[in-house]
Amino acid sequence: MIRSSFQPKMLKPKKCRMCPTVFVPQRSMQFACSPACAQAWSAKQRAQKEARAKREERKSFKERAEKIKTRAEHLGELQDAVNAYVRLRDINDPCISCDKPATWQGQWHASHFKSVGHAPALRFNLLNIHKACSVCNKWKSGNYVGYKPRLEKKIGKEAVDWLEGPAGNEPLKITVAEIKELKKFYRAEVRRMKKAFVNQPEEETA
Ligand SMILES: [Zn+2]
Ligand SMILES: [Zn+2]
C-alpha cells in the first residue's frame, strides 16, 4: 500500500470479531478483517436484534394474556393443577369407583365425589377428589354407587358424611390472588412428584 509522506501511526493488531484472523486495522473503528467479515458481522447483529425484539414481543403478549385472564380461566387452570396432583397422589391406587387396578392402561381422571355444581365450596377440597378411571368418571358421572363405599374405606365414614353434609353448599370463596397462589403450589407439587416417579408419563387432564 502506498502512503503519503504523512505516515500515520500503525494501529495495534486485533482479532476479527467474525473469524479467528488477527489483522492490523487501517482505522481504529475497524472490527473485521475484511469487508466480507464486516458484512457477516452486521448481519449477525441484525439477526440478534430481531430475535431480541421477537422475544420481548412474546413476553409482553404473555403478560397481557395473563392480565386479561378471567377468574373462571384461573379457576380452570387451578383445577387442572389439582387434578394432576390427585392423579399422582393416588398413582398406586385402583379406581376409587370400581375395581380397575392401578396397572390399568386406560386414561385416569381426577373425579369429584360431590360435583362442582352440587358443592362449589368443595371444588378444590382434596378429600373430595380422587383418582378414577375415565369409564367411571366420564360415562358413569363418577359412579357414585361405587365411589361411596371405597371412599369410606379410604378416608373414613365421618369424612364422607361431612362431604355429604351442607359443607359444600356455600359458594366458593376464593380471590384471584389466592387462586394464583394455589396454582403455584400444586404445580410445584406436581413437578416434585413427577421427579420422584420419573418413569411415570404425564396423563391426560380430565
Ligand atoms: Zn474475519
Ligand atoms: Zn372405575
Per-residue pLDDT tens over the stretch 36-86:
999 999 999 999 999 999 999 999 998 888 888 889 999 999 999 999 999
Q: Which ligand is nearest to the CA of 137?
A: 2
Spatial separation of the C-alpha atoms in residues 1 and 12, rounded to whole Å:
17
Spatial separation of the C-alpha atoms in residues 135 and 98, rounded to whole Å:
9
Q: Is the pLDDT of residue 162 over 80?
A: yes
Q: Which ligand is nearest to the CA of 142?
A: 2
Give percent above pLDDT 70 in the chain.
Answer: 91
Ligand 2 center to 84 CA (angstroms): 17
Q: Which ligand is nearest to the CA of 37?
A: 1
pLDDT digits over 6-15, tens only? 566 788 999 9
Spatial separation of the C-alpha atoms in residues 79 and 72, rounded to whole Å:
10
Is-contact 142 136, C-beta < 8 A? yes
| C-alpha cell read off for 53 | 425484539
Q: Is the pLDDT of residue 176 over 80?
A: yes
Ligand 1 center to 56 CA (angstroms): 31
Rg of the Cα atoms in the chain: 31
Q: Which residues surround ligand 1, an ion (CB under 5 A)?
A: 16, 18-19, 21, 33, 37
Ligand 2 center to 175 CA (angstroms): 34
Ligand 2 center to 204 CA (angstroms): 16
Taking phi over 0 as left and psi of -120 to 50 as alpha, with beta for the rest, 46 belongs to: alpha
Q: Which ligand is nearest to the CA of 19?
A: 1
Ligand 2 center to 54 CA (angstroms): 47
Mean pLDDT of the chain: 90
Looking at residue 206, what is its pLDDT?
Answer: 46
Ligand 1 center to 50 CA (angstroms): 23
Ligand 1 center to 20 CA (angstroms): 7
Looking at residue 135, what is its pLDDT?
Answer: 92
Looking at residue 132, what is its pLDDT?
Answer: 96
